[in-house]
Amino acid sequence: MEVKIGVQYAPRELSVSTEEEPAAVLALLDQAIKDGTVFTLTDTKGRTVAVPAEKIAYLDFTSDVGRKVGFGLAASEAATAASK
């Protein structure tokens, strides 16, 4: 799953691919906000992203399944189009 982290006053969002479920990520953020600490999330390659919890504007969860790459269709869309 991909998690996009919006940070206050930052022009770009952070994007992290993780194995964590949305509920687990939200629980980590909730605890970091309560404790006044840094929200950390580790991606699938072992990279850790840390953001002060009070500076997080939003989290956006999207599935990695069926993502489009380049100008072509995703494999599932190409198979569907070919069968028609």
Q: Mind listing the pLDDT tens digit of every residue in the chain (84 residues)?
A: 999 999 999 999 999 999 999 999 999 999 999 999 999 999 999 999 999 999 999 999 998 665 556 665 555 555 555 555
Q: Which 3 state secondary structure label does DSSP give 65?
A: coil
pTM: 0.72
| Domains identified in the chain, total number | 1
What stretches of the chain adopt beta strand conformation (E)?
Answer: 2-7, 14-17, 38-42, 48-52, 56-62
Q: CB within 8 A of 79, min separation 6: which ones?
A: none
Structural domain boundaries, residue 67: 2-83
